[in-house]
Chain A
């Protein structure tokens, strides 16, 4: 029953986020601040992780090719498919649930604990619109991050494959171009946009409706990470079935 009540509260929260908008001149600066915090602030960690995971995918694939019948370009092909279909959109979103999600929950939760949200509401400000809407808009740029992650992941695979002696550059690039289906990129970006909405709203929900003090802020951040990850994984399955199945 608690889960149902939470789903209901979440739906009501989403409706409230889009009601009674904040003055555009203020909203504009809030959105820019969130873009800086959530998008540009995550660029470094995503580039770092993407490069190394791309490299590991290439090495693992190469090491598992034991038959002479399997073409050498499979390393590039497998790296591309893994990175575009799953690693960049899904794995990166789980990482973002930890990085961005816990930031969102703890910052909004701290505002709740220190009565800053009460102060907003008392002034007649729609606190949900003021706090959550800029995050949703900022995370519309999340596909931009994922596009960079795809590029860096594939580059990492090429780097590890070629400089580790597992593949030649020509074979790797041939594999990258083999049987390329442009819809796979579209599929990845559709998933990314859905995950972006989840990344902005579920952590906000856990922060906004938390009760208690500093300890509860920490607990809410952990719960938010768990639920954001669970929802991302379930939606990943549903969207894959719907778009590719």
Chain B
């Protein structure tokens, strides 16, 4: 569980986060949504400990990151897995090398043990045939799955995903969304996903936090988001023609 308590973050005169408080539960897929520039990425980087909030606290299962010693911060980091927007796979390593990297860095396992673990997670994301290929030799969807495999190889307690569907076709995006949700349930981890993809909200949004201009404008579930009267949320959710039609049908059915 991650508890965020009244955090503020500024860069010079730009106030990016303005007093956000929320709780992300374990075993749930938590979504942070909002327009570009709403502060989602900075918020996620604060959760990861890459940025420290100017004010307020973030606690990971009771441990307040900013109050930990550097050694404990490093240990906590090893409990976190991150899927970056652009995947951030190491070009010079094969798929297997990328997945084994955290194990090589932080464990004392033998090479065969690490290989077994890498094979296990690659199987989990349906990528066992690609383990000797380089990231440039596989598709965007496969790269995303490698990034997920790398993020979960250390058995993390927290999984963070920044725009996991960007650049993917709708079908592959759904596969990735479902994979993230399955892994969250299977490993009982706290997952936070940054997205502005409404399909993801519909697919996996068990808890949704809506940010606008650095403020938490709304929070709720995927069912509640369609019933809310919050103007900022509705103008974001129903910005596409498709969702406008979905809403008309929904209102029509309700009436």
Contacts and interface: CB of A to CB of B under 8 A. Distances in A.
| Genuine A/B complex | yes
Contacts of B104: 23, 25-26
Interface residues of A, number: 15
Contact of A125 (B85, B87, B91, B105): B105
Contact of B106 (A110, A118, A124): A124
A186 interface: no
B74 interface: yes
A122 B82 contact: yes
A123 interface: yes
A177 interface: no
Given A121-B50, A122-B50, A122-B82, A116 B74 contact: no
A116 B91 CA distance: 9
Contacts of A25: 104
A163 B236 CA distance: 80
A22 interface: yes
Interface in A190-218: none
Which of A23, A25, A121, A124 counts the most chain B CB atoms within 10 A?
A: A124
Interface string B42-70: 00000010100000000000000000000
A123 B105 contact: yes
Nearest to A110: B91
A119 B106 contact: no
Given A118-B88, A124-B74, A26 B105 contact: yes
A124 B154 CA distance: 13
Interface in A170-199: none
B220 interface: no
Nearest to A25: B104
Contacts of A240: none
Nearest to B98: A119
A41 to B, nearest CB: 15
Interface in A6-59: 22-23, 25-26
A154 B18 CA distance: 68
Contacts of A110: 91
A121 B88 CA distance: 12
A123 B88 contact: no
A124 B77 contact: yes
Contacts of A26: 104-105
Given A123-B78, A124-B78, A23 B84 contact: no
B106 A116 contact: no
Contacts of B84: 115, 118-119
A115 B78 contact: no
Contacts of A22: 105
Contacts of A123: 77-78, 101-102, 105-106
Contacts of A23: 104-105
Contacts of B48: 122
Contacts of B73: 124
Contacts of B82: 119, 122
B80 interface: yes
Interface string A95-127: 000000000000000100011101101111100
Nearest to A117: B88
B86 interface: yes
Interface in A72-116: 110, 114-116
Contact of A116 (B50, B88, B102): B88
A10 B82 CA distance: 29
A114 B88 contact: yes
Nearest to A121: B50
Contacts of B74: 124
Interface string B17-56: 0000000000000000000000000000000101000000
A125 B88 CA distance: 14
A121 B78 CA distance: 11
B250 interface: no
B86 A114 contact: yes
11 contacts: A23-B104, A25-B104, A114-B86, A115-B84, A116-B91, A119-B82, A119-B90, A122-B50, A123-B78, A123-B101, A123-B105
Closest CB pairs A-B (n = 10): A124-B77, A119-B88, A115-B88, A124-B74, A115-B84, A122-B82, A116-B88, A115-B86, A114-B86, A123-B102
